[in-house]
Amino acid sequence: MDRRSFCLNAALGTAGTFLVPKMLADHGVILGHNQKKYKISTRWSQADVARNPVNDCHEMVQDSRGRILLLTNETRNNVLIYDKNGKMLEAWGTEYPGAHGLTLFNENGTDVLFICDNQRHQVIKTSIDGRVLMTLDYPKEAEVYASKEAYIPTETAIAPNGDIYVADGYGQDYIIQYDANGRYIRHFGGRGEGAEYLKNAHGVCLDLRNPAQPSLIVTSREQNAFKRYDLEGNYLSTIALPGAWVCRPVIRGTYLYAAVLQSSSRPWQKSGFVTILDQSDRVVSNLGGSEPLYENESLAEMYQTIRAFQYPHDVCIDDEENMYVAQWNSGKVYPYKLEPVV
Amino acid sequence: MSKNSKQSFFAGILIFFSVLASAQDTFQLAPPLLRFPSIFFDRSVQVEAEFRQPESSIRYTLNGWIPTEESPVFDKPVNISKPVTKLSVRTFAKGYMPSEMVQVNFYKMGKKAKTLRAPLPHPKYLGTGTDALQDGLGGNTDHNSKTWLGYQDSVMIELEFGDKTSLEQIMINTLENQNAWIFQPSSISVYGWDYLFGRWRPIGGSRPDSGERQPDVRCAMQTVTIPKPIKTDRYRLIIRSLQEIPVWHPGKGKPAWLFIDELILH
């Protein structure tokens, strides 16, 4: 090798080092189908594991300042707050051993959080920095619970008028509706034979995409389905998602996004993926999952095809359409970030 | 540019791209979806495979070897008719690590007992009742499937044939899903009714490695060979569930579940 080519190599090496981050962004693995494809980064979080550990990463939301909040059942810091680049900004919360559901509501211009704690059997409303504003105990008024232990809330959804819907997803699968002050209004759902009932009502969200007809979408995870109800709890329809253990529905723009904890075809084998439905409730993309296929208007069984995720538990879509994925029981991994490919 | 420097230029490019490759996330494919009516069959069974991932392929073998990219492509249903066949499948696609291998054993059915008596399974896993043990259905790995009978204790099964039958081999299909606390049985004993002495005579048994760690969810066929077959019309099987889950498992010390879906008698 002559001196000139040695210099050339050295230069290339240096160029390589500098160029990697930029090039990486252009060459990462692409997940998804049709108009919803994403590049994945598993190294988004810059949290220091020694200072800010996580256990199960259950749910994520973005606040009105653009920050990304993560809820974990690690009581050293139940809530981790990041910027969109994965930099840790702050952390709080040591009193939520069963931290499971995280919902953000903008209450007259102020962000508030609703935390479902499935070990405390409570829903806790807090300020964005963790000050407790209200605690909802088990709903005695519903007269369906013999004890607080029978009630294991997993998720909340807040209506524009402030009504609180709590999904008792690991308890009796009821949806309990309260007014903004936490007064019991009614309950519906629960278990039973018939389309209006639920099994593992793990998530709930408000669907305001059709302003003329606001509705609730509730997860019936073990039935591999979402079920739609009106705001008074009358059952409307079922969105069948064969093969998919869907977690909570997350609506942004005209799309509905959901983490799929696992595939029915490979239960408890880290067989999760992420699914995306359009406004007509049709699956348009599966991230790490099978290509959506409709045969005679019915959706063919879905399943994991790429082991990008283990047990994804929630997705969060930020104001720039980026996706964050939190995972349960997946080796205490921090969330992943996925950027849309256009 | 000299020949040498050209070479090193390309070497530089190579190093550059290999750095790129190593800095990326490389994912493994998941195994394909297999569809078949049962792992038990009378004459033959047709197996279908599906993997809706663009530009991927499913490869298979029928001899127990690990499928490679050179193995046959599973692009149409595979027909299986040999008495015992091990189907192995894996998925492949450019840019991904091949999937883990999935293996399924298929078995030709044997003789059916005239009557079969078994205890009622646990109410949560009743399946289709104890007739399920001789219905030729089963072999999927979903413990919620109706083909499985789930027990939390040992199981005694009595078989009557109506006429004298010499059993040489008994196969019992069990499920292993240690994450769900379902283990292989700790032991199996086979007895035949001895008319001469008017008692049950032990004629065979086996001791599976039930406490050994097994990360996969799979069917575990328990095969008991009877060294000296006897002529009798009544048989008794005692399938003992694992009484204490081993210490490495979160359920240590507690009783394991025992799941059975079929008996094959030869």
| ipTM of the complex in this document | 0.87
pLDDT tens sequence across B100-137: 999 999 999 999 999 999 999 999 999 999 989 999 88
Min Cα distance B100 → chain A (Å) is: 11
**Which of the 8 DSSP states describes residue A76?**
T
Reading phi first (left if > 0) and then psi (alpha if -120 to 50, else beta), residue A259 is in beta
pLDDT over 60 at B20, yes or no: no
Q: What is the mean pLDDT of residues A28-41?
A: 94
Residue A262 DSSP SS3: strand
Cα torsion for A141, A147, A149, A150, to the nearest 10°?
-70
CB hemisphere CA count around B162 (13 angstroms): 6
* A216, A199 Cβ separation under 8 angstroms: no
- Is residue A308 within 8 Å of residue A292, measured between CB atoms? no
Question: CB of B43 within 8 Å of any CB in chain A?
Answer: no
Alpha carbon of B133: minimum distance to chain A alpha carbons (Å): 23
**pLDDT tens-digit readout, A65-124:** 999 999 999 999 999 999 999 999 999 999 999 999 999 999 999 999 999 999 999 999
Instruction: Show which of residues 276-335 on chain A sit within 8 Å of chain B, judged by CB atoms.
Output: 288, 290-291, 293, 300-301, 303-308
Q: Does B33 contact A265 at a Cβ distance shorter than 8 Å? A: yes
| Facing A13 at nearest CB: one of B15, B142, B217 | B15
Which chain A residue lies closest to B50 (C-alpha atoms)?
Answer: A290
Q: What pTM was estimated for this model as a whole?
A: 0.83
CB spacing of B5 vs A40 below 8 angstroms: no
Name the band, by pLDDT with cuts 50, 70 and 90, for residue B24: low
With beta carbons under 8 A apart, name residues in chain A contacting B19.
16-17, 20
Q: Does A7 touch chain B if contact means CB atoms closer than 8 Å?
A: no
At B216 the pLDDT is: 85
Say whether pLDDT at A12 is over 50.
no
Beta bridge partners of A341: none
- How far CA B64 is from CA of B79, B111, B136, in Å, comes to 16, 26, 23
Distance from B96 to chain A by nearest Cα, in Å?
A: 8
A337: closest CA of chain B, how far (Å): 12
Predicted confidence (pLDDT) per residue in A133-165, tens digit: 999 999 999 999 999 999 999 999 999 999 999
